[in-house]
Amino acid sequence: MTAKPKLLLAMRDELPAGFFGPEEWTRLEAVTDIILRDALTDFDDPTGAAALRDADILLAAWGVPPLTEARLARAPNLKMVAYAAASVRAVAPPPFWRRDILITSAVSAMAVPVAEFTFAAIIMCGKDVFRIRDTHREQRGTGGFGTRISMDVSHLGNYRRRIGIVGASRIGRLTIEMLVHANFAVAVYDPFLSAEDAAAMGATKMDLHPLLGWSDTVSLHAPVLPETHHMIGAAELALMADNAVLINTARGWLLDHDALLPEVQSGRLRVLIDTPDPEPLPPESPLYDLPNVALTPHIAGAQGNELRRLADLAITEIERFVTGQPPLFAVSETELDRIA
- What is the Cα–Cα distance from 271 to 50, expressed in whole angstroms? 49
Q: Are 75 and 99 in contact (CB under 8 A)?
A: no
* Coil vs helix vs strand at 127: coil
Among all residues, which ones are annotated catalytic? 251, 279, 298
- What is the Cα–Cα distance from 230 to 301, expressed in whole angstroms? 22
Torsion from C-alpha of 54, 59, 64, 65, nearest 10 degrees: 30
β-pair partners for 166: 189, 220
SS3 sequence of 260-314: HHHHHHCCCCEEEECCCCCCCCCCCCHHHCCCCEEECCCCCCCCHHHHHHHHHHH
Considering only CA atoms, give the Rg of the chain. 23
End-to-end CA distance of the chain: 41
